[in-house]
Structure 1
Amino acid sequence: MTNKSVCFTFLVFVLLSYSGHVFAQRAYLIFTGDGQQVDFDQVIRKTNDKSHVFFGELHNNPISHWLQLELTHALFDDHGERLVIGTEMFEADNQLLIDEYFADQISQKNFEEETRLWKNYKTDYKPILEFAKKNKLKLIATNVPRRYANMVYHKGLAVLSEFTDEAKSYMAPLPIEIDTTQVSYQEITQMVEGHQGKNMMEAQAIKDATMAHFILENSTRKTIFLHLNGSYHSDRKEGVVNFLSRDIPLRKILTITTVSQDNIDQLDEKNHQLADFIIVVDSSMTKTH
């Protein structure tokens, strides 16, 4: 870790001026799943015997994105080209564009125009992608193309059997066995009453299963795989982690999540055990979009 990382990753001090007074406010703290406060270096040390690390983000939270980049740097320092990065933010049918861009076969302009980039790409994901490109790391587009998830939402998982073999190459192998007892899936189902609730769960499951599929497909005994995703996809070691753990032992998987609290001095009870490490960000933190 650099001096910069050590100084800033545990406590961020935001200088605020009001009526001529300047004061410092902590922007975030890090806790274990049972609420013990730790620093960022302890998180890094816990990755040493892991094969897969999940960083669950709040998509519009700058602390999430900054620490993802810091974690990427730290893992690269420790593991070099063994590091593989996967992201929910790129869909599997964009992998060719990523590979061509990393091989300097297409320009940055064409890459960014032709890839379905999230609106916060330039501020939040581009730094990691460019770091991977510069250091010749593999970056994997793990998510299912949104058009297929949308069809599942409207018609259920059975609709996927109607697609071509090429289309199916961008998703997890069918059929998909869903663990419906997961808290996250039960919550999703309850959001919408009736049959549409079941479809909503299945649409989430095709995303989770596909991400797990491409993570596994790009993992070896020598790699350490860092996956970036919305926290909901890996909280409680459900979602993507649930699918991946059918092939990878849970003891080899480390999870990190991000939550927002009005008071960051201790971990709220509702946020206990969401992950191995929980980044608690002050709810007043500005958003990236």
Structure 2
Amino acid sequence: MRITLVLICVLAVAFRSPDKPAYRLYTPNLKGTTYAKLLRQATEADVVLFGELHNDPICHWLEFQLTKDLQAAKKGNLVLGAEMFEADNQVALSDYVQGKTTAKELATQARLWPNFNTDYKPIADFAREQHIPFVATNVPRRYARLVSRQGLAALDTVSTEAKQQMAPLPLTVDLTLPGYKGMMDMMGGSSSPGSTTSSSSANPHGMTSDMTANFARAQAIKDATMAYFILQNLKPGQTLLHFNGDYHSKNFEGIVWYLRQQQPSLKILTISSVEIPDINKPASENRNLADFVIAIPVDMTKTY
């Protein structure tokens, strides 16, 4: 009899234990919210910036779900865009989405990310099925690399054709924005841009302030280019759902800042993704990251 009672108590405790949700959604003030509210607000937005963690399966699954639900809600007035495709690969991406080429041909014609097949191909295939325009928004990496090594002035030397694959020049970069400043500080370039002095103790990466400033400027040319091609491909009444790394849009900076410079009245909705130990207890540092914050368990399995 006692064994039976113990077993019943154990089972009762087990059945009362909480579920293990894969994610939770929060408002900017870290109040719990729902996917239904996110979808409703996304449907009303001109631009939705989904800040993902590149190797997180929950992010990619939610991106796919949001794509499908927005397509149903917008009834054909949906456009997709992504950091993961560079502007000079637009023809290859469009040909695939329009059903003109195969996945194998796309792989030979475009610079696809290593996790394309698992993480982005389902969205590209849905766009192909539903005839959804898909915009390659990122600057070709060779030009971002050029900026990181030589600064923005180096872009003056590229061809006219190359300049059509990036935001219009000259480009304004505000290195005092917290995101860019934080990037510079992380790389060890806290001294003012222009200084070439640094010490190994103060700068573990061995980079001068000019080098770290150029690193931030390379991030900015990506942000500005993504904003530029978003606006170039957005028509009234449409919603453009854009996939990008979280750092490109969190804290309402990066892409958001450049969009606001050109169209202050644009309705922008941002989503930020964070991994935390307990998704039911987000820390204050996760406050005001975005319009919606996706909290994901830190031990979530990775796609690569």
Same fold per superposition (TM over 0.5): yes
Structure 2 regions of 5+ residues with no counterpart? Answer: 1-13, 190-208
What residue number does 1:264 align with?
Answer: 279
What residue number does 2:235 align with?
Answer: 220
1:48 partner SS = helix
2:44 partner SS = coil
**Which of residues 272, 276, 294 is equivalent to 1:279?**
294
1:34 partner SS = coil
What residue number does 1:14 align with?
Answer: none
1:220 partner SS = coil
Work out whether residues 46 and 266 of structure 2, in 8 Å CA contact, stay in contact via their aligned partners in 1: no
What residue number does 2:142 align with?
Answer: 147
What residue number does 1:200 align with?
Answer: 215
1:51 pairs with 2:46: yes
Q: Structure 2: how far apart are the matches of 1:61 and 1:235?
A: 17
Deviation at 1:251, TM superposition (A): 6.2
Deviates more, 1:144-153 or 1:182-191: 182-191
Q: Structure 2: how far apart are the matches of 1:180 and 1:174?
A: 17
Deviation at 1:272, TM superposition (A): 0.3
Deviation at 1:46, TM superposition (A): 1.5
What residue number does 1:38 align with?
Answer: 33
Q: Structure 2: how far apart are the matches of 1:49 and 1:125?
A: 24
Deviation at 1:218, TM superposition (A): 0.2
Q: Structure 1: how far apart are the matches of 2:265 and 2:57?
A: 29
Q: Structure 2: how far apart are the matches of 1:52 and 1:80?
A: 16
**Matched pairs, number:** 269
Corresponding letter in the other structure for 2:44:
D
Work out whether residues 35 and 266 of structure 1, in 8 Å CA contact, stay in contact via their aligned partners in 2: no
1:135 pairs with 2:130: yes
What residue number does 1:78 align with?
Answer: 73
- 1:84-103 pair list within 5 angstroms: 84-103=79-98
Q: Structure 2: how far apart are the matches of 1:167 and 1:213?
A: 15
Q: Structure 2: how far apart are the matches of 1:167 and 1:174?
A: 11
> For residues 54-82 of structure 1, what are the alpha-carbon distances to aligned partners after superposition, in whole Å with 9 as ceiling and x for unaligned?
10000000000000011001100110221
Q: Structure 1: how far apart are the matches of 2:216 and 2:46?
A: 28
Deviation at 1:28, TM superposition (A): 1.2
Deviation at 1:163, TM superposition (A): 0.4
Work out whether residues 97 and 124 of structure 2, in 8 Å CA contact, stay in contact via their aligned partners in 1: no
Q: Structure 2: how far apart are the matches of 1:243 and 1:47?
A: 20
Deviates more, 1:99-108 or 1:185-194: 99-108
1:141 partner SS = strand
Q: Structure 2: how far apart are the matches of 1:271 and 1:109?
A: 40
Consecutive aligned runs of 4 or more in structure 1 exceeding 3 Å deviation: 21-24
Deviation at 1:113, TM superposition (A): 2.3
* TM-score, normalisation: structure 2: 0.85
Work out whether residues 43 and 74 of structure 2, in 8 Å CA contact, stay in contact via their aligned partners in 1: no
Q: Structure 2: how far apart are the matches of 1:48 and 1:74?
A: 9
Deviation at 1:250, TM superposition (A): 5.7
- Aligned-residue sequence identity (percent) comes to 42
Corresponding letter in the other structure for 1:235:
K
Deviation at 1:117, TM superposition (A): 0.8
- 1:19-38 pair list within 5 angstroms: 24-38=19-33
Q: Structure 1: how far apart are the matches of 2:148 and 2:262?
A: 27
What residue number does 1:189 align with?
Answer: 184
> For residues 199-256 of structure 1, what are the alpha-carbon distances to aligned partners after superposition, in whole Å with 9 as ceiling and x for unaligned?
0011000000000000000011121110100000000110011001123336610001
Q: Structure 2: how far apart are the matches of 1:206 and 1:274?
A: 22
Q: Structure 2: how far apart are the matches of 1:114 and 1:217?
A: 23
CA RMSD of aligned residues (A): 1.5
1:174 pairs with 2:169: yes
Higher strand share: 1
Larger Rg: 2
What residue number does 2:264 align with?
Answer: 249
Q: Structure 1: how far apart are the matches of 2:156 and 2:129?
A: 39
